Amino acid sequence: MPDQKELFRKIPKVDELMDSFAERFSDVPSAVLKESVHQVLDSLRTGIKSGEVTEIPDFDTIVELTAKKVGKNTLPTLRPVINGSGIVIHTNLGRSCLSENAVKAVVGVAGAYSTLEYDVEKGARGSRHVHIEDLICSVTGAEAAMVVNNNAGAVLLILSELGKGGEVITSRGELVEIGGSFRIPEIMEACGCTLREVGATNKTHVSDYENAITERTKALLKVHTSNYRIVGFSEEVSLSDMMKLGEKYKLPVVQDLGSGCLVDLKQFGIQDEPCVQESVKAGVDIISISGDKLLGGAQAGIILGKKSYIDRLKKHPLARALRVDKMTLAALRETLYVYQDENRAKLEIPTLAMIGEKPDNLRCKAENIAEKFNDAGFKASVTKLEDQVGGGSVPNQMLDGYGVVIDSGKFSVDQLEEKLRLRQLPIIGRINKDRYILSVRTLLKNDENLIIQALKEIF
Ligand SMILES: *Cc1c(COP(=O)(O)O)cnc(C)c1O
């Protein structure tokens, strides 16, 4: 049993270690360095006390242990990953990737002053709505528009302005919960309005809405059941019937569309995902959508519809609390700009391009990547699989896709999955029937080279 006092004495001094790091980690804040040194030395002390440490490693070993700790402590928890899941709008992985131009636009305003609220022509204060309102209107056909932090915020703002102190009528089939505890009934409560549920889970008729209208009624709300579908013996009220009812009783019709689809997904073989333009055409008074789901832009909530209502929303105190940053506006502007040419949108906006990718192209991509892996000395093959749109959209339809199966060699499939995931640049794949698979639909340009690099380090 070594003398504990002797061991404690052998632990290097903090300053000694700090000195040996000064040059090596010149770009690491000294507080982070010091904390890392303390962590290593503390764990030695704890080890000595518990008897686990019976010998103090030499100075160089301690330096290397500390360097590892520094690496861990300086790694941001928010960092890029490689998405091999085949889920295009993966909410846990940040939903949509921005287009190249959108990224450039973000970078352009991020590190500089900008015209965010400055009217260059007048040399006076301007409005942050101008950067994007006309564009939203021209793409969707709406009269007016504004942008807030996210779609949950959009619904909050709309109901706070239009529903406060009264009742809002919604179908029982549409009392949606979106991931992260966004629930229509609870949102209504937070907005100071009373939810008036009508109909049954599977069927709601126009007469159900009509019978519920009283002098307390403030609005009719339709919610897109993004992440579930009621199928079988079911019926919902059409937008046009909803509009007729709204007109008859002079009540605004509000629609939370969620996904925010601007191109018809039927061309990709995807059914019943409503387009924003249809709702505008039907005359819906206020529509809200997400900026980073099917639209493929940045996190935001886009509110569009009749000018008289949007003007009221812009003046609401919550609008200030929910306003978006210049980087969001820049990203959305660039994304929406491309929608003025649908063919360009389908090519340039990653979310759309990935959803629309033809199975034949995916098979070629998978074959090329598998060949590259094989050439680099790793065993890989191609498999068919099913991908998903994700983001709580189109929950009941799969996309035909292809993946690259990587042979786990001396590791188990679970071990390989973990090794690829626990990296500075995590690689997120799938395990299916005891095979490790990367779906190629969601792999970005150059990802395969980064994966090869990772495999070389692991094997
Ligand atoms: C996704 C979704 C929301 C929430 O939108 P966020 O942009 O995530 O805040 C609200 N309503 C519906 C119908 C949705 O699909």
What percent of the chain stands above pLDDT 90? 85
- In this structure, of 234-238, 267-271, 314-318, 418-422, the range with the lowest mean pLDDT score is 234-238
Find the 92 Cα to ligand 1 centroid distance in Å: 14
CA of 293 to the centre of ligand 1 (A): 9
Ligand 1 contact, 223 CB (< 6 A): yes
Under the banding of pLDDT at 50, 70 and 90, the label for residue 124 is: very high
What pLDDT band is residue 178 in, cutting at 50, 70 and 90?
confident
| Test site for ligand 1: of 150, 174, 176, 182, most ligand atoms within 8 A of the Cβ | 182
What is the mean predicted confidence (pLDDT) over 165-193? 85
Candidates 47, 41, 54; CA nearest to 2 is 54
In this prediction, residue 333 has a pLDDT band, given cuts at 50, 70 and 90, of very high
Q: Is the CB of 273 under 6 A from ligand 1?
A: no
Residue 445 CB partners (closer than 8 Å, separation 6+): none
- Cα(99) to centroid(ligand 1), Å: 21
Q: For the residues 425-434, what does the mean pLDDT come to?
A: 97
Q: Are 7 and 53 in contact (CB under 8 A)?
A: yes
Higher pLDDT, 306 or 190: 306
Closest-CA residue, ligand 1 atom 5, reads 151
**Span 441-459, average pLDDT:** 97
pLDDT in the model for residue 272: 82
Distance from the alpha carbon of residue 210 to the mean position of ligand 1, in angstroms: 27
Closest ligand 1 atom to the C-alpha of 300?
7
* CA 2 to ligand 1 center in whole angstroms: 62
Closest C-alpha to 11, from 30, 28, 46: 46
Instruction: Indicate if the pLDDT at residue 2 is higher than 70.
Output: no
Cα 385 to averaged position of ligand 1 atoms, centre (Å): 28
392 lines ligand 1 (CB under 6 A): yes
Determine the average pLDDT of the residues in 233-238.
84
Residue 153 in this model has a pLDDT that exceeds 60: yes
pLDDT number for residue 236? 86
pLDDT of 309 over the 80 cut: yes
What value does the mean pLDDT take over residues 269-279?
Answer: 93
Q: Per-residue pLDDT averaged across 328-346, rounded?
A: 97
The amino acid at 250? K
Average pLDDT, the chain: 94
pTM exceeds 0.85, yes or no: yes
Bigger pLDDT: 201 vs 162: 162
The residue nearest atom 1 of ligand 1, judged by CA position, is 258
Cα of 149 to ligand 1 centre, how many Å? 11
Give the residue ranges of DSSP H helices in 120-169. 133-140, 151-162
Give the pLDDT score at 393. 80
Q: Residue 226 CA: which ligand 1 atom is closest?
A: 15
| Least confident span in 155-159, 172-176, 302-306, 444-448 | 172-176
Identity of the residue numbered 321: A
Q: Are 337 and 135 in contact (CB under 8 A)?
A: yes
